[in-house]
Amino acid sequence: MSTYADFSNPAATRTTNIRLSVLIPFYKDDPVPLLLSLADQVEQDQLPVEIVLFDDGEPEPDLNKCVEKAVFTTAVPARLLTSRKNVGRAAGRNRLSAAAIGQWLLFLDADMTVKDGFLSEWLNLIDAFEFDAAFGGYTADPVTEPAHNLHAALAKTSDENAAAHRTELGATAFCTSNLLVRSELMRRVGFDEHFTGWGWEDVDWAVRAEQAGVLAHFDNPAGHSGWQSADILLEKFRDAARNYARLLEKHPELATLPSAKAARILKAVPGQALLRGVWSLMARSPLTPMKARTTALKLWRASWAADVI
């Protein structure tokens, strides 16, 4: 049996004039609302756009069938790639890049939302400016569950930044959610598949891509709605320490990042690992002020990074 399955709808089998490929990896998250929203924009504005989705490991066959049905019924060029085994975030995006036929590639997360005119704005920016890759930023969508308040607060304070601020930070402010890349650059600079699990493969890619092309920041944000509980965030930040160590090993110049400085400071504190229980409790507690909760979460992340740098 083939490792991958590739399902194309009738519109995808007929089209050849694709300027932009929207690439959406997913793992358990339902990408159908995003697919339909994007398809409406493509159809309404008659855009030269295809939509390609990647189910990483098909953990939920019923969801895969729902996505396949949505791909088949939409009138715009759309495809669903399905991996028989989980390959991870970096490898999944490389598979999407290899399958895309557009001159430009736009990576979106499955749990994102897009405003009216989002795709047209990206195409306008391509025409108006000279660049090889760009990050459009994102905004925090409203939270509907109290358990997700911590994640939303962290995003607002750390990640919801205008293009002017992100430009000052440069490549390290890039994320794979709402990342636009010239396909020719992606063929030369792919994602490092040695980054496994969650975290830092996007920064690594951007730092390397900056050596091969022109990077830019724009204000064309997509909404982020994939909020997670404090328990899941603590687990992800703990496990991401391995990827962070790989990032600093590959790019020693990033040792000046605030996150690296915080990890080095904690590394010099005797018994700092014993404080993780306190930070974990603070981050989980809805009775703790939100600023203290987000600070505790950052200290938790820095503490695990201190173990590996």
Per-residue model confidence (pLDDT) at position 59: 83
Round to whole Å and give the CA distance between 109 and 178: 8
pLDDT tens string 39-88:
999 999 999 999 999 999 888 899 999 999 999 999 999 999 999 898 98
Determine the average pLDDT of the residues in 143-169.
Answer: 91
Whole-number Å distance between alpha carbons of 68 and 263: 44
**Residue-level pLDDT at 2:** 59
Beta-bridge partner residues of 50? 21
Cα 26 to Cα 29, 90, 137, 199, distances in angstroms: 6, 12, 20, 15
What b/e readout covers 155-181, taking b as 16+ CB neighbours within 10 angstroms?
beeebbbebeebeeeebbbbbbbbbbb
Please give the backbone phi and psi of residue 267, each rounded to the nearest 5 degrees, phi first. -60, -30
What is the chain's alpha carbon radius of gyration, rounded to the nearest angstrom? 20
Q: Which two tokens stand for residue 16?
A: 């050849």
pLDDT computed for residue 257 by the predictor: 86
Structure tokens at 277: 């229980």
Domains and CATH numbers, the chain: 4-227 (3.90.550.10), 235-308 (no CATH)
In order, the DSSP letters of 109-139 are: -TTEE--TTHHHHHHHHHHHS--SEEE--EE
The Cβ of residue 259 has, within 10 Å, a number of other Cβ atoms equal to 18
pLDDT digits (tens, 9 = 90+) for 167-200: 999 999 999 999 999 999 999 999 999 998 888 9
Distance CA 92, CA 199 (A): 14
For 225-237, how does the pLDDT look when each residue is reduced to its tens digit (9 = 90+)? 889 999 999 999 9
Work out the percent of the chain whose per-residue pLDDT is above 90: 81
Mean model confidence pLDDT for the chain: 93
Output the CA–CA distances (angstroms, integers) from residue 134 to 17, 126, 179, 182, 295, in the order listed. 22, 10, 6, 9, 29
Q: For residues 180 and 158, what is the distance between their CA atoms, to the nearest angstrom?
A: 21
Q: List the strands of the sheet with 133-135, edge to edge.
A: 4-8, 78-83, 49-55, 20-26, 104-107, 179-182, 133-135, 215-217
The pLDDT tens digits for 215-264 are: 999 999 999 888 999 999 999 999 999 999 999 999 999 988 888 888 99
* Segment holding 207, helix H or strand E: helix 201-209
Q: How sure is the predictor about 4, in pLDDT bands with cuts at 50, 70 and 90? A: confident
101-117 in b/e burial notation, b at 16+ Cβ within 10 A?
bbebbbbbbbbbbbeee
2, 48, 70, 132, 303 from 237: Cα distances, Å: 34, 39, 34, 30, 10
User: Which pLDDT band, with edges at 50, 70 and 90, does 159 fall under?
Assistant: confident
What is the SS3 assignment for 243? Answer: helix
Whether the Cβ atoms of residue 294 and residue 150 lie closer than 8 Å to each other: yes
DSSP letter (8 states) at residue 143 = P
pTM value surpassing 0.85:
yes
Is 70 exceeded by the pLDDT of residue 1?
A: no
